[in-house]
Amino acid sequence: MNCTEPCYSVPQTTNTALTIQTRGRGVARIAVFVGVFVLASMVLPSAAASPPEGPVTTTEALPFVQPSHFDYLLSYSLPGVQGVKVKNIPYVTKPSANGGPDDVLTMDVYYPPHHFAGSSRNAGTPSCKGNDLMARRSSAAPVLIDVMGYSDDAATQLFGTVLKDARPHGSFGRLAAAAGFVAITYQTTDADDLGRVVDFVTSHAEELHVDASNIGLLAVSANNVAGLVYAMPNHALLKFSVHLSALMVSPDRFLQDEVDSFGDLLGFYTGEIDAIATDLPMLIVRGGKDFPLLLATVDHFIEQAKAAGANLQVIDYPDGVHGWAVQIQDEESATHVAEVVNFMRTSVGLCPIGPLIGNVLN
């Protein structure tokens, strides 16, 4: 099939058992630091960076989750973000839970500027001279999937919007597209939707004008759980994974009960991993002022990954708060944003970018 714009057929699903399940654990059994409950991606205000010591109950902590936090954009971006094209494309049809019409889930696809112009300048031969963002521009770009780790219903109840439509995710989609990726956010009703998105991209690569051999994942905050649960057993399908402000799970189930309980409470997808992939390039940005439980899961994952010989890079950001990429506007934050983008680019054979600029989407 020859397409100048994405064309596709939408796969059907049936109500089969999910491969990742949430678990029914009582809310009353949990007591943790207040900061851990603000687990949506890139959404905490700076004032929450130093949570009070001592445990609080979940019901006391929930007021700290504010829908207004989703008004944030990334602090830094790249030239070209305003030329990014966004297409809304259906990727799966599911039977309705209430017996009504089938549910059609869509994904937002962020295309680089001039993507459909079909330019092949320097195609296949990356040139790292100057600040050439599109040194290997072609009609088939690498893919970045932003992991949506909350069901749409849960995200709407908790934050007032589905994650796909949240401004932080949209601004990262534009940044990634300006950096040469086709970036994807998506609607979701169950944890298997991440796999369905990967399957759809792989089977419709020509119509979508993407390179299905170069797919990477980005996961932020509690979305990391769904990202890890998919990426570790499916690492052969991926070129990289990036983990920011992360809540992690490890093969030895370190703090797994707490993670599962928070998932039940807040509505993010949970699950376990049996092993850490050793051949998947992974990047973790460790914010030193993130919340204690999140840091505990990150540090434990790093320890286990190193012991396993994983291909893991860690950026230590001592002053990084939860959601640092949308909160901190200084040179160090910009440097770490650039490092994330350069990790993604070099993982798919593209050359590094030059300096970032202040976000121009405001």
Render pLDDT for 127-152 as a digit per residue (tens, 0 to 9).
454 444 444 445 689 999 999 999 99
Parallel/antiparallel/unpaired status of strands 76-77 and 357-358: antiparallel
Flag residues of the chain having pLDDT under 70.
1-73, 75, 117-139, 354-362
Residue 70 is classified by DSSP as G
pLDDT recorded at residue 41? 38
Domain at 27-358: CATH architecture: 3-Layer(aba) Sandwich (3.40)
Sheet with 240-244, strands from edge to edge, namely: 85-94, 103-111, 182-186, 141-146, 210-220, 240-244, 282-289, 312-321
Q: Would the pTM of this model clear 0.85, i.e. be above it?
A: no
pLDDT recorded at residue 358? 58
CA gap 166, 67 in Å, rounded = 10
Residue 264 token pair: 């039940």
Look at the block and give the residue holding tokens 């807040």.
266
In total, the chain counts a number of residues equal to 362
Torsion of CA 155, 248, 36, 20, to 10 degrees: 40
